Structure 1
Amino acid sequence: MSRSRTSSGAGELLVPLRRDSTVPLHQQVARGIRDRIRQGLLPADAVVPSTRALAADLGLSRGVVVEAYQQLVAEGYLVSRTGGYTQVAPAAARELPVPRTEPMSGGSPRIDFRYSRPDVSQFPRAAWLRSIRKVLTETPHDRLAYLDGRGAIELREALAAYLNRVRGTSARAENLLISNGFAQGSRLLLQVLAASGFRRLAVEDPSDDELRAVAAAAGLEAVGVPVLDSGVDVEALERSGADVVLVTAAHQFPTGAVTSAQTRAALVDWAGRRDALIVEDDYDAEYRYDREPIGAIQGLAPDRVVYAGTASKTLAPGLRLGWLILPAHLVEAMSSAKVVDDRGSSVLDQLTFADFVARGEFDRHLRRMRPRYRRLRDTLVDRLAEQLPDLRPVGISAGLHVTTWLPPDLSEQAVAQAALERGVGVYGLAPYWVDAGPAGLVFGYGGLTEQAVVEGIDALAAAVAAVRSTPSID
């Protein structure tokens, strides 16, 4: 059966009127609509409100709007259709001008080894949809109101149970805070710590450079502490004078070092003696391949450690879901900071994730993804050994990236540029050093296919050969 289309579903239409003007109102209405069509703000075939609806919106008699529409139809700006609705005439419509942009230099790589890209094509849509449906069907209306600054209690309870079981944390729902990813959580934390009297943040050297800028903006001085094979150098940390340290203990970024039991104990001892704080960024601990799982430091000293986690590497960065397990004395200040910052993260996303975790779908997704990422890791390491044996990989037992040191005759910049010319994106270690350190490359492989990894490394080998064949300029 055919369905007639009417203008009752059309939205409102902004038409400026000046009631003190000598210009008749029907002419003002016609001019307002005509101008919006000419400016491209009303596209071709857009349905305009009915004369009755627009008259009610503008506080006019219907006859005024009818006269305006008739004039625009006569001029060819509007078309009246059978069924009682009126549309913008295609011949009269204009397209909005497209802003001019400068082309990107170098272009985008065809195969990109950029770090921090999981395989979002494997996002568990069907399982997530089941959780969405359950939330929309069963959530009481009052759960859609403003939340506690810590986030939805359902998600905090689900995460506390999951993290205590899988990561060995000592979490309670009342000490958990939900944030828009690690970026927001870390920014709010550093702001709260600076306001509480903390002054110096120690970061692993090398480490993610973005957090150092966030620390500076919060008023904290960031100092680098070397990373050893066993994790952060605690003796250097002692000498740094820091009162808070950020560590990636389960899989150090970018070297891949795993913090040993002795170093973990030494960190906890340092924090207790200095009345200091440890921030533990557990960004990709769920992905391990060649070693047994290692529990979080937070479980050893809940009152001295802020534990940070995120769904960005395990599910998708676009979800913007992160969490912090906080010592009790930071909960109120962090909750207030979250409320001031954005009034709370999306409750529907939180409740969906809570159901997803509670039903075991998160565990199932991780079990499915581990062998997939391990095959990618193996392909990358094997191809490097075949094509570029002097690029020594480190930190390959876990995570979604591999770091390789470069031999003395290769520079990061030259290799990256030569690779880009062959359609491959590779990235150097230089931005991650607080102080200058050895040259190397970071290969993120999570978002690639095995074939892309093979082709990318083969192209990189050609790029390295080209660099080596080019005479250096002294």
Structure 2
Amino acid sequence: MDEGVTFPVRAGLDLHVELARGSAGAGGGGTRAGLMRALREAIRAGRLAPGSRLPSYRSLAVDLGIARNTVAGAYAELIAEGWLVARPGSATRVAPRVVAPAAERARPAPAGGVARRAHDLMPGRPDTASFPRAAWLAAARRALTAAPSQALGLGDPRGQLPLRRELADYLARARGVHADAERIVVCSGVDQALRLLAAVRPTPLAVEGYALFTQRARWAEAGLSTLPLELDEGGARVGDLAATGARTVLLTPAHQFPMGVALHPERRSAVIDWARATDGLLIEDDYDGEYRYDRQPVGAVQGLDPERVAYVGSVSKSLSPGLRIGWMVLPEWLVGDVLAAKGAWELTVGCVDQLTLADLLGSGGYDRHVRQSRQRYRLRRDRLVAALAERAPEVEVSGIAAGLHALLRLPSGEEETVVRRAGRRGIGLAGLALYRHPDYRGPAVDGLVVGYGAPPEHAFPAALDALCRLFPGQGG
């Protein structure tokens, strides 16, 4: 192995790279290859962290004593490979994590924590790099300029009135929800909404047999049981509700999570009939209602009977989970109970963020962002489907007409093996078993729940390649 020669960069940004002896004096191709190897190794070892800014072509070329075109060529190839990123008018930087350092790969995840991943394909996560920063900032400025001083106080525990009014208009227009501002309660995401509903509906909860596990966790925290409903191609079998004895049911009717099917129209009517007959309540989680691709939008079940449905949603998929802004559209008879459980001073969403979202909704900025992101995610979905059809044709892809995830059905017995393989390679994805209710008696299905929303645009090709390599014949 050649002895390393160190070249400190003294002009512009400082950088410490090691080229093999003789590389700097070799021909352009050899020098470029040596520089690329040195930069890859610095990234692998963690000396160049994700987001680190690199020197300009000229600066690095001067300090290494090599041609500027050689540095430019090395940068260009590393950008194409996904190691670096560059945007017009901005410096070249190390891409978000593409290969975990050796020490980090060997380090176990902390107890109760999550290991850092090279590729995040967990379901339900949006591309936060596409957050509309300029539009949000402009909306915040307008909202603060227009807001009276009292709007910056503790305010109404239901949430800022401008936001509730804009939500009522938007949800009616975009999702077919019947609401007025007095029946909307703003909360810090769907998770808090479920905690509050568990407090005011202290009865067993019927849930979909495969569902987000945090849903049943909220009822378990309240000391209440959950009862699984069987699933088929028409969604939850709501005709079984009477046999469960439950008086509250939680469904994802527009795009069942994680199976990806829509609740059959007859079952939409049937669950309302059940609620009317039993004094029951449907909690409708419209978690990704904005994203529909190959079909007409499926409106909210809430529109069939607003007095029998508690409709919940948030901006965690459309904008960012970090904003922690969600809402409930409640039956009139339930508003008082929910507010009592929330508490007069339990104001979990900042007033400025509420007013900013209200402005973004009212100005049309939210609609513009949703339309743009819908097109972007649709293209990603198409690339995912095409790549799997070409490289892993034995994998059946379903649940792709909407949302930010796809269900990859696997032959029986393969799920655990593939999930473990993905973990070893730093690929974050979920096995279908993660979402199966422990008491579910329906047929077991092996599969992967793969999200295509989270990777930044420049990192998506590498994530897609890593996913395909999990399967036989692709390095799996």
Alignment TM-score, normalising by the size of structure 1: 0.73
Distance 1:387 1:259 in 2: 32
Identify which of 368, 378, 381 aligns with 2:382. Answer: 378
Alignment of 1:5-404 (within 5 A): 103-104=108-109, 107-194=115-202, 199-339=203-343, 342-404=346-408
Distance 1:319 1:267 in 2: 32
Cα distance, 1:122 vs structure 2: 1.0
SS in 2 for 1:465: coil
Q: Quick one: which amino acid aligns to residue 463 of structure 2? A: G
| Partner in structure 1 of residue 7 of structure 2 | none
Distance 1:341 1:363 in 2: 32
Q: Quick one: which amino acid aligns to residue 432 of structure 1? A: Y
| Partner in structure 1 of residue 71 of structure 2 | none
**Range with greater deviation from structure 2 (369-378 or 224-233):** 224-233
Instruction: State the Cα deviation string for residues 149-208 of structure 1 (Å, max 9, x = none).
Output: 1111110000000101111111111000000011111111111111xxxx1100011000
Q: CA RMSD in A?
A: 2.0
Q: Quick one: which amino acid aligns to residue 399 of structure 1? A: G
Q: Quick one: which amino acid aligns to residue 132 of structure 2? A: P
Q: Quick one: which amino acid aligns to residue 148 of structure 1? A: D
| Partner in structure 1 of residue 452 of structure 2 | 445
Identify which of 425, 430, 443 aligns with 1:427. Answer: 430
Distance 1:107 1:148 in 2: 40
Instruction: State the Cα deviation string for residues 343-376 of structure 1 (Å, max 9, x = none).
Output: 3521111111111101111111111111100011
Cα distance, 1:390 vs structure 2: 1.9
Distance 2:475 2:411 in 1: 11
| Partner in structure 1 of residue 78 of structure 2 | none
Instruction: State the Cα deviation string for residues 403-461 of structure 1 (Å, max 9, x = none).
Output: 11110251x22212212333322220112111262111000110125664443343344
**Range with greater deviation from structure 2 (216-225 or 317-326):** 216-225
Cα distance, 1:322 vs structure 2: 0.1
- C-alpha contact (below 8 Å) 1:149/1:336 kept by paired residues: no
Cα distance, 1:138 vs structure 2: 2.0
Q: Quick one: which amino acid aligns to residue 455 of structure 1? A: A
Distance 2:267 2:351 in 1: 39
Q: 1:457 to 1:348 in 2, by over 3 A?
A: closer
Higher Rg of the two aligned structures: 1
Q: 1:334 to 1:430 in 2, by over 3 A?
A: same
Distance 1:467 1:380 in 2: 15
Distance 1:184 1:107 in 2: 26
| Partner in structure 2 of residue 463 of structure 1 | 470
Q: Quick one: which amino acid aligns to residue 341 of structure 2? A: A
Distance 1:262 1:447 in 2: 34
Cα distance, 1:399 vs structure 2: 0.2
SS in 1 for 2:470: helix
Aligned residues: 363
- C-alpha contact (below 8 Å) 2:123/2:429 kept by paired residues: no
Q: 1:425 to 1:364 in 2, by over 3 A?
A: same
Cα distance, 1:465 vs structure 2: 2.7
Cα distance, 1:143 vs structure 2: 1.3
Distance 1:416 1:103 in 2: 16
Q: Quick one: which amino acid aligns to residue 343 of structure 1? A: L
Q: Quick one: which amino acid aligns to residue 220 of structure 2? A: A
Q: Quick one: which amino acid aligns to residue 378 of structure 1? A: D
Q: 1:134 to 1:232 in 2, by over 3 A?
A: same
Distance 1:192 1:216 in 2: 14
Q: Quick one: which amino acid aligns to residue 181 of structure 2? A: A
Q: Quick one: which amino acid aligns to residue 320 of structure 1? A: R
Cα distance, 1:336 vs structure 2: 2.2
Cα distance, 1:463 vs structure 2: 3.2
Distance 1:344 1:456 in 2: 35
- C-alpha contact (below 8 Å) 2:160/2:354 kept by paired residues: yes
- C-alpha contact (below 8 Å) 2:171/2:177 kept by paired residues: yes
Distance 1:291 1:449 in 2: 26
Instruction: State the Cα deviation string for residues 254-279 of structure 1 (Å, max 9, x = none).
Output: 00011121111111111111110000
- C-alpha contact (below 8 Å) 2:154/2:345 kept by paired residues: no
Distance 2:470 2:115 in 1: 17
SS in 2 for 1:342: coil
| Partner in structure 2 of residue 84 of structure 1 | none
Q: Quick one: which amino acid aligns to residue 442 of structure 1? A: V
Alignment TM-score, normalising by the size of structure 2: 0.73
Q: Which runs of 5+ in 2 are unaligned?
A: 1-106
Q: Quick one: which amino acid aligns to residue 345 of structure 1? A: V
SS in 2 for 1:463: coil
SS in 1 for 2:469: helix
**Identical-pair percentage:** 44
Instruction: State the Cα deviation string for residues 373-412 of structure 1 (Å, max 9, x = none).
Output: 00110111111111222221111000000011110251x2
Instruction: State the Cα deviation string for residues 271-311 of structure 1 (Å, max 9, x = none).
Output: 11111000000010110100001110111100000000100
Cα distance, 1:107 vs structure 2: 4.9
